[in-house]
């Protein structure tokens, strides 16, 4: 199997920036960025990252506030925090074995095996959903069970190319992203069609049986741009699993039987101890994250005094024009679009 696959790969492989060389550090960066994120989205972020932190040592010497600014907009910010923490744990050279790699924050079985196969030519296969899908289709397995998953893993590992394990991994990645996609296949161009049972049955997209998509909850949220003496207040999310280290305008969820106006007055008081009245409604924003969405009512408010300010979060009063110097969640960038139009 691997001969046909690699022959196809060498003619059709994608020209990706992290494939120029086999630096374990750069492969690690790319693999973490690619978690739950499309290649086309990752490329400009990867290039920006490598320009700022070209080596592991340059990254290890960085400050987290600078690091997360480079990551800003890529989402799933816990990945960035895990990378930062992992870099501090790497004492000298990058780990070249599974046991040491798997101990690092943010590195699971797939990422560890992929790094080792590509950077160190270890005879391993990093199996993610794309590679798993290829295995299910070749073997003609419809139902996702632990037994079938083990069969897929065994099949892909047994067919590994021991001379070029990294190329084998990347070839399967490219096959899954170009010809053997979840909802569309290009079987006539596939180098593995002759051994594929799903192709023989003329229904590859039904292998494996797709999971029913869950409806994500939508939360109503009130946010306020608080202005005082031509400066606005921003606060920093810290020690949270979600968007940790990013800056934002104060606000929060609208409670049951509460109006957006009442909610923002309450939230500002709880977060900052500032008293606001008559907040001005600026506009509405919707934004979706991976597991939930938000419907944001954006306000502007002008406290008469800031003497009572007492936030449990780190906070800054800044000129609005300077806000892009701080890493912000994507939803806050949408708020800035509303503010720009008003100005």
Q: What is the pLDDT of residues 130-187, one digit of tens each?
A: 999 999 999 999 999 999 999 999 999 999 999 999 999 999 999 999 999 999 999 9
Q: Is residue 343 very low, low, confident or very high in pLDDT (cuts 50, 70, 90)?
A: low
CA angle at 320 for the pair 316 and 324, rounded to the nearest 5° = 85
222-248 mean pLDDT: 90
What is the per-residue DSSP string for 4-44? HHHHHHHHH----GGGSS--HHHHHHHHHHTTTS-HHHHHH
Distances (CA, A) of 162 to 77, 96, 101, 130, 171: 35, 17, 21, 21, 14
pLDDT at position 340: 87
pLDDT digit string, tens, across residues 306-315:
999 998 889 9
- Is 267 among the catalytic positions? no
List the single range of 36-40, 68-72, 261-265, 309-313 with lowest mean pLDDT: 309-313
What confidence score (pLDDT) does residue 311 get? 84
Each residue's pLDDT tens digit, 188-215: 999 999 999 999 999 999 999 988 778 8
Q: What is the pLDDT of residue 195?
A: 97
Using DSSP's 3-state secondary structure scheme, residue 200 falls into helix
pLDDT digits (tens, 9 = 90+) for 273-325: 999 989 999 999 999 988 899 999 999 999 989 999 998 889 999 999 999 99
Give the percent of the chain with pLDDT over 70.
99
Residue 341: the pLDDT is: 82
Out of 31, 248, 267, 271, which one is annotated catalytic?
31
pLDDT of residue 224: 97
Give the pLDDT band of residue 107 (cuts 50, 70, 90).
very high
**Burial of 337 per CB tally in 10 Å (0-12, 13-18, 19+):** exposed
Average pLDDT, whole number, for the chain? 94
64 CA to centre of own chain: 17
Query: 271-307 burial, b for 16+ CB within 10 Å, e for fewer?
Result: bbebebeebeebeebebeeeeeebebbbbbbebeeee
Q: Is the pLDDT of residue 241 over 80?
A: no
């Amino acid at each position: 199997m691997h001969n046909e696959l690699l022959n196809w790969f060498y003619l059709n492989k994608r020209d990706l920036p992290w494939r120029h060389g086999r630096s374990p550090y750069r492969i690690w960066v790319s693999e973490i960025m690619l978690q739950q994120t499309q290649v086309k989205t990752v490329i400009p972020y990867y290039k920006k990252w490598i320009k700022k932190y070209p080596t592991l040592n340059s990254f290890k010497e960085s400050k987290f506030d600078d690091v997360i600014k480079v990551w800003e907009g890529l989402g799933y910010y816990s990945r960035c925090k895990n990378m930062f923490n992992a870099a501090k744990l790497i004492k000298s050279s990058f780990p070249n074995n599974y046991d040491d790699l798997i101990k690092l924050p943010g590195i699971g079985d797939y990422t560890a095996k992929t790094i080792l196969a590509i950077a160190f030519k270890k005879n391993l296969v990093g199996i993610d959903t794309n590679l798993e899908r290829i295995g299910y289709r070749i073997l003609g397995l419809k139902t996702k069970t632990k037994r079938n998953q083990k069969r897929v893993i065994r099949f892909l590992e047994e067919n590994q190319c021991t001379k070029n394990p990294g190329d084998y991994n990347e070839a399967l990645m490219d096959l899954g992203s170009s010809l053997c996609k979840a909802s569309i296949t290009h079987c006539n161009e596939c180098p593995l069609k002759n051994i594929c049972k799903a192709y023989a049955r003329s229904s590859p997209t039904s292998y494996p049986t797709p999971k029913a998509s869950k409806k994500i909850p939508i939360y109503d949220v009130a946010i306020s741009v608080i202005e005082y003496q031509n400066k606005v207040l921003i606060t920093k999310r810290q020690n949270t699993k979600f968007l940790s280290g990013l800056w934002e305008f104060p606000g929060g969820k609208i409670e049951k039987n509460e109006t957006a106006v009442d909610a923002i007055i309450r939230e500002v008081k709880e977060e900052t101890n500032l008293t606001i009245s008559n907040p001005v409604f600026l506009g509405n924003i919707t934004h979706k994250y991976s597991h939930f969405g938000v419907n944001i009512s954006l306000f502007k408010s002008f406290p008469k005094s800031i003497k009572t300010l007492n936030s449990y979060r780190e906070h800054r009063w800044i000129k609005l024009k300077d806000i892009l110097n701080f890493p912000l969640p994507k939803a806050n960038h949408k708020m800035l679009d509303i503010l720009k139009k008003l100005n």
